[in-house]
Amino acid sequence: MFAKLLKDLFFLGVVVLLQSSSPVTVLGFVSTTRIIPASLYNHLKNKIRTKVQQSHIRTLASSLESSALHATDASSTSTAVPSLIVLDLDNTLWTPELYQLRKLERNKQYPVANKDVKLFPAIQSILSSIKKDLASNGGSSIYSETKFAIASRTKSVEWAHDLLKQFDLTDFFHYVEIFPGDKKRHFANLKSQSGIDYHDMLFFDDSRDGRYGNCEPVSELGALTVHCPNGIYEEKIWHGAIESFGEWYTEKPANTIIEWDGTLTTTSTPDIDPTAKFKGFVKYVNYDKRFGFIKYGSRDTKDMFFHFSSLPAGADVEEGDEVSFGITHDQRKGKDAARDVELKNGGGDADTVNMRVFSMNLPFAALLANGYKTLETRNGTMFTPYEEGTKMLLHVGQRIYPDGNRHLDVMKSGGLDDDEINDLKSLPNGFGKGMAVAIVEIGKTYETTLEERCDPDFQRSVGAFGADSGMRATEIARVEYLKKGVKVTGSGGVFKAAIDKSVIPDGWLG
């Protein structure tokens, strides 16, 4: 009722001014009246078109469009506006997702804006309006104190930057974080660069939760996130989020997501006894995705999820293994999960440990074990399923890798002499082919371009020229020789072997 009265009174004021004043005077009244939403400006524009002279309408309608952003869905000038608005790229700002353009990738072609990749019309209109508003109204725009940023996990980094340039958006965004990995890292960087707290940020993304989810993990930081599963395809998604931000900002509860239908969801963390221990057995294991479920409690008790990261370092697990565990609440997924899982059987006896192993041939196995080689590159996805911090054994294959000794030129480019190179290519006494010789902790795995692989520092880290290296690079976080070499039958990819715990260096299984 009040909204209708306000609308009618405001309209009456505009009409009266139009009858007695110039359009400029009316526009001054409209532009300085910041107590109504943008939708009311649109209502006014339509009403005026039917009630005043056409010559006045053209001037008024044009100016109303440029000033409509002054009254986005805020109820007053004191309503909070985000200090930083962050947008995802794929299926949020534009479509399709870049990984789907496989034909272009195979042909080594870049996507063309408005042909291969298109902005959603709604967000294109919104960004264009904001640009015009800031240019014409400057400090009086509600976005005058707002910064804009990109946060994308796409692996097509070069494509993404090029498309932003093609769409003429490079200068619009104050901060751009585009690299595969954890979205929380993007936001940590944004916070560091901008000096803006998370609770002053608004984030739009099409992926809510799960393995590839972004809204939930970012909401944990304290930012308000907007789940737009079909992209920003309607302007009401944007304006509704701005309005919701003002309402949310009074309390600023963490773990809050604006859902696809405009409702707000805030996840609370249940109280869990940190000392409680449970017993059960492993009911299911997915080795590729590195998780499983534990059967425990009564017949009606729901199976408990666990991730391999909750297992002891280096331990392996199989269906049927007896385990004990605690329970924690996974805020990222909003579900309970097992923690500190201990194997009672099936994970090796008291003296052995089952570990993952990967094989390399000389001289590169020695270069890695001796700490020279800090990146391992492959064209396949051997290391992709394993998260940072995973520990594996390094096995030495039976062959010498035939690279034509090009690794010597790479190593010499870093200033090493022949004696130093020979030492780095050699294994200690008691270590040789067909043996597990070292334990390795891997870092992140990421895709690279040929240009990146041809960087001299990158080549020395790999021990090979860029053209000879694989496209996927895996960081070697740390490596240490075993206390003695252990004979292991090699296999392709990542395989498993039972190793005597006594040969593992101190501190690696703790």
Q: Are the CB atoms for 343 and 311 separated by under 8 Å?
A: yes
What is the amino acid identity at position 120?
F
Alpha carbons 122 and 10: distance in angstroms, whole number = 28
Helix %, strand %, coil % for the chain, to 5?
35, 25, 40
- Per-residue pLDDT for 384 more than 90? no
pLDDT on residue 486: 94
φ, ψ for residue 225, nearest 5 deg: -115, 150
% of the chain surpassing 90 pLDDT: 52
Alpha carbons 80 and 252: distance in angstroms, whole number = 11
- Per-residue pLDDT for 34 more than 50? no
Average pLDDT, the chain: 82
- pLDDT-based confidence at residue 15 (cuts at 50, 70, 90): very low
Q: Are the CB atoms for 407 and 464 separated by under 8 Å?
A: yes
The SS3 call for residue 128 is helix
Q: Are the CB atoms for 88 and 75 separated by under 8 Å?
A: no
Mean pLDDT of 342-353: 67
Mean pLDDT of 451-472: 94
Buried b (16+ CB within 10 A) or exposed e, 242-271: bbbbbebbeebebbbbbeeeeeeeebeeee
Determine whether 138 is exposed, middle or buried from the number of CB atoms within 10 Å of its CB (0-12, 13-18, 19+). Answer: exposed
With a CB cutoff of 8 Å and minimum separation 6, the contacts of 317 are: 282, 285, 292, 308, 311, 323, 341, 343, 346, 347
Q: Are the CB atoms for 391 and 439 separated by under 8 Å?
A: yes
Q: What pTM was estimated for this model as a whole?
A: 0.46
Residue 305: CA count within 13 A, CB half-sphere: 12
- pLDDT-based confidence at residue 176 (cuts at 50, 70, 90): very high
- Per-residue pLDDT for 146 more than 90? yes
pLDDT on residue 79: 66
Q: What is the tens place of the pLDDT at every residue in 465-475?
A: 998 999 999 99
Q: CB atoms < 10 A from the CB of 19, how many?
A: 9
Mean pLDDT of 267-289: 76
- pLDDT-based confidence at residue 62 (cuts at 50, 70, 90): very low
CA distances from 98 to 113, 159, 161, 431 (A): 12, 8, 12, 46
Q: What is the tens place of the pLDDT at every residue in 115-132?
A: 999 999 999 999 999 999
Residue 494 or 21, more confident: 494
E strands present in 55-190 = 84-87, 94-95, 118-119, 147-152, 175-178
Question: Max CA-CA distance within the chain?
Answer: 100
- Per-residue pLDDT for 96 more than 60? yes
